[in-house]
C-alpha cells in the first residue's frame, strides 16, 4: 500500500528498506514545496501484535525526533514526521546516490586519499552526533549515503540510536547492532553486544568500517579486478580466527594508518580512542603527511 499524499508530497521510486520500513523518492505537487523537491519519505509498516506495533511506533517516533534535532553537512536531514491515513512516515533529505556498501560491491577501486576523505567526512558527522550525547549504535557502510558526484557524504538511520537517557529510561534495543551474514564482519563491540553501548561502541564500529572500506576499495596495481568477496572473505576468516588483527593488515598502506584502525577497534574500551575528536585528530595528522 502506498501513501498518495504526505505533507504535499506523493511517493515515487522505491529506494530501499527493511522489515518494517520502506523509503521512497517523493515529489511535491505544490508550487512552493515546503522541503524542496525531491525528498525521501520513510514509511513505517506495522506488523505483529498490539505490543509489537506500539514498540515500533515508539522507536520510529524517537528516530525522527533524534534526527530532526541534528543539523550537520554529514548527517541526512530529517525535516518532519507524522501520521497520514493511518501510516507513520518521515520526510527526509534526498541524496542522489547510493549507500557506501553498494559502492563497495562495485569492482572500481579508489586511491587511499579518496577513501580516507570519505571516512573522515563520516567521522565528522559521528563526532557531531556524540557532541549531542547520542550513540548511533549502527555505524556501517549501509548507513552512509554518498551522492554520485561524491560531494555529499552523510550518515543516516537512527533507528536504534540511544539518545540522552533519563535515569528512569531504558535503551529500547540495548543489544542491537549489525553482524553480516555468517558473521563475516561484526560492527558490534563487546560492550554493545552485552547491552552497554557507549560513544566508544560507535568508535569501534567506525574503525571496523574504515578497515572494510580500505580492504574492499583500495587500488593495488595488478589487483584492480578483485571483487568485494575475494578481498574480504579470506581476510575476515584470518581475523576471526586470530591470525591477523585487522582486515587490511597485509595491504600496502602506511603503518601509522594501520595503528589508527587498530586503536579504534581495540576490544577493551580503555585501550580504544576515548573520543571521535581524538581519533579525527590522528587521522588529520596522517592526511597531512
**Please, which residues have CB within 8 angstroms of residue 253's CB and are 6 or more apart in sequence?**
112, 214, 218
Cβ-in-10-Å burial (0-12, 13-18, 19+) of 140 comes to buried
Which of 131, 135, 129 lies closest to 199 in space, CA to CA?
135
Q: How far apart are CA 60 and CA 253, in angstroms?
A: 41
Residue 218 and residue 253 in contact, taking contact as beta carbons nearer than 8 Å: yes
Query: 135 — alpha (psi -120 to 50), left (phi > 0) or beta?
Result: beta
Residue 228 and residue 105 in contact, taking contact as beta carbons nearer than 8 Å: yes
Is 96 a known active-site residue?
no
In Å, how far from its chain's centre is CA 57? 21
Q: How far apart are CA 51 and CA 43, in angstroms?
A: 19
Question: Which single residue is written with the C-alpha cell 547492532?
Answer: 177
Residue 192 and residue 175 in contact, taking contact as beta carbons nearer than 8 Å: yes
Catalytic residue among 113, 138, 142, 282: 138
H helices of 90-198, in order, are 100-105, 112-131, 190-193
Sign of CA dihedral 24, 135, 217, 19: negative
Give 267's DSSP letter. S
Cβ count near 94 (within 10 Å): 23
The half-sphere exposure of 123 on its side-chain side, counting CA atoms within 13 A, is 26
**Residues annotated as catalytic (active site), given as ranges:** 138
Amino acid at each position: 500500500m502506498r501513501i498518495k499524499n504526505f505533507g504535499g508530497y506523493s511517493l515515487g521510486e522505491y529506494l530501499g528498506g527493511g522489515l518494517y520500513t520502506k523509503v521512497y523518492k517523493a515529489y511535491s505537487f505544490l508550487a512552493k514545496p515546503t522541503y524542496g523537491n525531491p525528498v525521501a519519505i520513510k514509511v513505517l509498516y506495522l506488523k505483529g501484535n498490539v505490543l509489537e506495533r506500539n514498540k515500533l511506533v515508539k522507536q520510529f517516533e524517537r528516530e525522527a525526533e533524534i534526527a530532526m534535532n541534528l543539523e550537520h553537512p554529514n548527517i541526512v536531514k530529517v525535516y518532519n514526521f507524522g501520521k497520514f491515513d493511518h501510516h507513520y512516515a518521515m520526510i527526509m533529505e534526498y541524496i542522489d546516490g547510493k549507500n557506501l556498501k553498494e559502492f563497495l560491491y562495485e569492482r572500481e577501486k579508489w586511491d587511499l586519499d579518496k577513501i580516507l576523505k570519505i571516512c573522515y567526512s563520516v567521522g565528522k558527522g559521528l563526532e557531531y552526533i556524540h557532541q549531542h550525547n547520542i550513540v548511533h549504535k549502527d555505524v556501517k557502510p549501509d548507513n552512509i549515503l554518498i551522492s554520485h558526484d561524491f560531494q555529499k557524504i552523510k550518515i543516516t538511520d537512527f533507528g536504534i540510536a540511544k539518545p540522552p537517557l533519563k535515569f528512569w529510561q531504558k535503551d529500547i534495543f540495548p543489544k542491537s547492532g549489525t553482524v553480516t551474514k555468517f558473521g563475516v564482519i561484526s560492527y558490534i563491540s563487546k560492550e554493545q553486544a552485552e547491552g552497554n553501548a557507549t560513544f566508544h561502541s560507535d568508535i569501534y564500529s567506525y574503525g571496523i568500517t574504515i578497515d572494510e572500506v580500505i580492504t574492499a576499495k583500495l587500488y593495488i596495481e595488478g589487483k584492480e579486478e578483485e571483487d568485494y568477496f575475494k578481498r574480504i572473505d579470506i581476510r575476515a576468516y584470518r581475523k576471526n580466527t586470530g591470525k591477523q588483527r585487522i582486515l587490511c593488515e597485509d595491504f600496502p598502506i602506511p603503518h601509522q594508518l594501520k595503528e589508527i584502525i587498530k586503536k579504534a577497534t581495540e576490544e577493551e574500551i580503555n585501550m580504544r580512542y576515548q573520543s571521535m575528536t581524538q581519533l579525527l585528530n590522528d587521522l588529520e595528522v596522517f592526511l597531512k603527511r
